[in-house]
Amino acid sequence: MERQDFVELMTPEGQSLLGGVDYESKTDVVKLVSKLRSEGHAPSLVAAVLTQAKLRHRARVKFGEFAERMLFTEPGLEQASRLLVAALHANRFRQAGIQKVADLGCGIGAESLAMASIDLEVSAFDIDELTAAVATYNLLPFENAAVELADVTQLDLSGFEGLFFDPARRELSGAARAQAVRKFDPASFSPNFEWVVAQCLKHVESDGRAAGIKVGPGHPHDGIPEQAEAQWVSIDGDLVELGLWFGAAARPGIKRSALLIDGAGRHEILSEQGEQQHAPLGQLEDFVYEPDNAVVRSHLIGELAKSLELHSFSPGIAYLTSAKKISSPWLKGYQILENLPFDRKKLKARLRELNIGVLEIKKRGADIVPEQLRKELAPKGTESATLVVTRVGEAHRVLICQPISL
C-alpha cells in the first residue's frame, strides 16, 4: 500500500466500498473489478480496496473476525503477531503489575491492540509514516492507545514502566516495492538488535520495570542475552516467534521455555539452564518421533526425552525413538515398517512393490530436497506412507513409516 492508497481508503467512498466488498479465496477478481469499475469507482480506489480485501482475508489466520475492520500493509501483516500471541505479550506486562507500556516499532498495531484491550495505557511508535497511519486506524476504538510517528532511537523511554520492541525484520523490494524480504542478520534489524537489548537492560535496572523483545524463532542462541528469559512459541505446530523477556516480565529461575498452544490448551517445557541438555543416545526402536519445532529450536529435546523416557538414535539429529507408542502434544509419531539403506534406485523399486503412491517425505541430517526426491521416486499406487530420510548412528538410512494416532 502506498500513501495515496491510504488517503483514498480514508474517504467516505473508500470506507463504504471497503466495507461492502466480500472477498474470498474463490472470488472471481476480474469480475469483481469490472463490477466496481462499472459502478463508477476510480481504478486507483478499486485497486486499493481489492488489495485490502485480500490482506483482510489472509489476516483472518492471525486476527480472526477483528481482521474485517483493520487495515494492513504487506510487510506489516507478515511481521505482525497473531492476536493470540500478542495477548500473551500483553499478559506478561499485566502480571508484572505494569500499567504504562511503550510499543516500540508498533507496525500495524497488533501488540498495542492486545495491550489496550486489557486496559493498559499504550504509547505506540513507528518510524514509517504509512505504517503509523495504519496503526492509528486500527487502534481508533481504544482511548487508552495513541500512535506517534517517531524514530524510537531518539525517544526518552524513562517515563514508561514497560517497553516492548518488535524490530523490523522485513523490507519491501521488487516491482512497486511489493515483495517483503526477510532479514536474518540481527545487526540489520531496525532498530539494531544490540541497541534494543541495551535499552532493555538499562530500563530494567530500576525495580519493577519490564521489557520484552520479539524476534524470529530462528534467532541464534549465542545472540540471546544472559539476563533474558527466552520463550519459543508454537501455535498448532507452527513455530511463530522467540520472545525475550527482561526484569519483571521474566519469570524467576526460568532461562528457556517452549510453549505450545493447540486445541487442547497450553503446554510448556521449562528449563532453569541456558545450556543445551542432549537426549540420551540409543538404538533405533519401533517408533520414531518428530518433536514440535518449539522444542527443537529451544534446544529442550533433552528435557522432553527425559520426561517421556525417549532417546535419540544419532548425535545432533532432532528425532526421538521408543519401543512403544507415546502420546504427547509435543510429538508426531510414526511406526517404522522398514529400515533401509538410502539408495534411490532400490527405494523406488521397494515403493512399487508396496504399492505406495501417496508419499510424505521428511528429512533431518540428509542432503536431499523432498520434492525433488518425490519426482525421482515417482510413486504410483493406492497405498500411502511417510519416508524419514535421516542418519541412524552414522549411516544414512530411509525409514518407511506409517503415522500413528496419538
The residue from 239, 271, 303 where one domain ends is 271
What does DSSP assign to residue 324?
A: S
Q: Is the pLDDT of residue 249 over 80?
A: yes
Q: Which three cell numbers stand for residue 385?
A: 506412507
Model confidence over 10-40: pLDDT tens digits? 999 999 999 888 888 777 888 888 989 999 9
Q: How many helices (H) and strands (E) does the chain have?
A: 13, 17
Whole-structure pTM value? 0.90
Q: Could you tell me if residue 278 is inside a domain?
A: no
Q: Are residues 188 and 327 in the same domain?
A: no
pLDDT confidence band for 177 (50 / 70 / 90): very low
Q: Are residues 259 and 298 in the same domain?
A: no
Q: Return mean pLDDT, the chain.
A: 93
The count of domains in the chain is: 3
Report d(CA 372, CA 213) in Å as an integer. Answer: 38
- Specify if 279 maps to a domain: no
Q: Let me know whether 347 and 222 are in one domain.
A: no
Instruction: Name 231's bridge partners.
Output: 243, 257
Q: Residue 327: inside a domain, yes or no?
A: yes
Tell me what pLDDT residue 397 has. Answer: 97
pLDDT for 190: 84
- 171-176: average pLDDT: 45
Q: Given 70, 104, 124, which residue is the final one in a domain?
A: 70
Q: What is the pLDDT of residue 24?
A: 82
pLDDT at 234 over 70: yes
In the prediction, which pLDDT does 175 show?
43
Does 183 lie in the same domain as 157? yes
pLDDT at 152 over 60: yes
Q: Which three cell numbers stand for residue 354?
A: 508396496
Q: Does residue 404 register a pLDDT over 70? A: yes
Distance between CA 65 and CA 202 in Å, rounded? 39
Residues 234 and 101 in one domain: yes
Kindly state whether residue 282 falls inside one of the protein's structural domains.
no
- Sign of the alpha-carbon dihedral angle for 226, 221, 246, 133: positive
Residue 239 forms beta bridges with which residues?
Answer: 234
Asked if 171 and 255 sit in the same domain, the reply is yes
Q: Is the pLDDT of residue 171 over 60?
A: no
Which domain does 347 fall in, by range? 287-403
Same domain, 202 and 298: no
* Under 8 Å between Cβ of 351 and 382: no
In a domain, 143, yes or no: yes
Spatial separation of the C-alpha atoms in residues 115 and 274, rounded to whole Å: 29
Q: How far apart are CA 108 and CA 126, in angstroms?
A: 9
Same domain, 116 and 223: yes
The C-alpha torsion from 32 through 36 and 39 to 43, rounded to 10°, is -140
Q: Cα–Cα–Cα angle for 305, 309, 311, nearest 5°?
A: 55
Residue 29 has a pLDDT of 85
Instruction: Please report the pLDDT score of residue 174 as a whole number.
Output: 45
With respect to residue 276, please indicate whether it lies within any of the assigned structural domains.
no
* Higher pLDDT among residues 318 and 179, named by residue: 318
Q: Residue 213 sits in a domain of what CATH number? A: 3.40.50.150
Domain identity same for 53 and 85: no
- Give residue-wise pLDDT tens across range 81-124: 999 999 999 999 999 999 999 999 999 999 999 999 999 999 99
Separation CA 37–CA 31 (nearest Å): 10
Looking at the fold, whether 220 and 172 belong to one and the same domain comes out as yes
CB of 132 within 8 A of CB of 147? yes
Domain limit, last residue, from 70, 99, 119 = 70
Examine the pLDDT at 176 and tell me if it is beyond 50. no
- Find all residues with CB under 8 Å of 40, minimum gap 6, and list them: none
Same domain, 258 and 322: no
User: What's the CA gap between 290 and 93, in Å, rounded?
Assistant: 34
pLDDT for the residue numbered 28? 84
The sign of the dihedral angle between the CA atoms of 395, 397, 403, 404 is negative
Q: Is residue 217 part of a domain?
A: yes
- The stretch 137-153 carries a mean pLDDT of 97
Residue type (1 letter), 143:
E
Same domain, 109 and 25: no
What's the average model confidence in pLDDT over 157-161? 95
Q: How many CA atoms lie within 13 A of 90 on its CB side?
A: 21
The percentage of residues in the chain with a pLDDT greater than 90, rounded to a whole number, is: 85
Summarised one tens digit per residue, pLDDT across range 260-275 is 999 999 999 999 998 8
pLDDT at 63 over 70: yes
pLDDT in tens, 356-384: 999 999 999 999 999 999 999 999 999 99
